[in-house]
Amino acid sequence: MTISGITVVGIGGTTRIGSTSERTLLEALGAAERLGASTRAFLGSDLIQMPIYDPEQESRHPMATNLIEALRTADAVIVASPGYHGGVSGLVKNALDYLEDLRDDDRAYLTGRAWGSIASGAGWGSVYDVLNQLRAIGTALRAWTLPKGIAVGPNNAEGRVARQTELMASDLVWFVQQAARTQ
């Protein structure tokens, strides 16, 4: 299946360049590109530039503005977070808090957009907790969360993760195509 005209935005990673969550996110975006989608990534090095989300602050940091504008036109979103103390990282959560700026759009928040979740960590318990939290955040933002996420834990085989990223990209593209047919 090859497509065109679909935009996928990836958000995630850590402040450590090449972290597991960043690598997996980039693999998923690469899989979407191989299917013909255009992609945009906001990695840890981008997210760390954004100040803590403040709903009372009218002006936005340029990186926050870039993120919001990219999400405003996205067809699908992939969010990747490491498990920090049993939860989504503060870096990723802060970036997601900026989606509040989309609340008054015609398509409020992420209405009608596909959402893929990627969680990584050193322990499986934390990985699955984060995966569930990411799904819950996607649902709260009115996105259509994919039923399968990617869990990257200790001793994951590279081939297994690569196959999961291919499946996620395929599922995101399928959803966007199905949603377009009903509009």
**Domain 7-181 adopts which CATH fold?**
Rossmann fold (3.40.50)
Residue 16 forms beta bridges with which residues? none
pLDDT at position 4: 63
Percent of the chain exceeding pLDDT 90 equals: 77
| Global confidence as pTM | 0.94
Mean pLDDT value of segment 137-148? 96
What are the tens digits of pLDDT across the range 31-57? 999 999 999 999 999 999 999 999 999
Q: For residue 130, how many other CB atoms are within 10 A of its CB?
A: 28
Find the DSSP H helices in 35-145. 44-47, 62-73, 90-97, 124-140
Quickly state the pLDDT bin for 158 (edges 50, 70, 90).
low
pLDDT at position 14 is 87
What's the pLDDT at 18?
84
- Neighbour count for residue 123 (Cβ, 10 Å): 12
Q: Which residue has the tokens 């989300």?
A: 53
In this prediction, residues 95-104 reach a mean pLDDT of: 97
d(CA 126, CA 147): 19
| DSSP H/E element including 92 | helix 90-97
Q: How confident is the model at residue 1 (pLDDT cuts 50, 70, 90)?
A: very low
- Residue 124: the pLDDT is 81
Give the model confidence (pLDDT) of 2-23 as tens digits.
Answer: 456 899 999 998 888 888 999 9
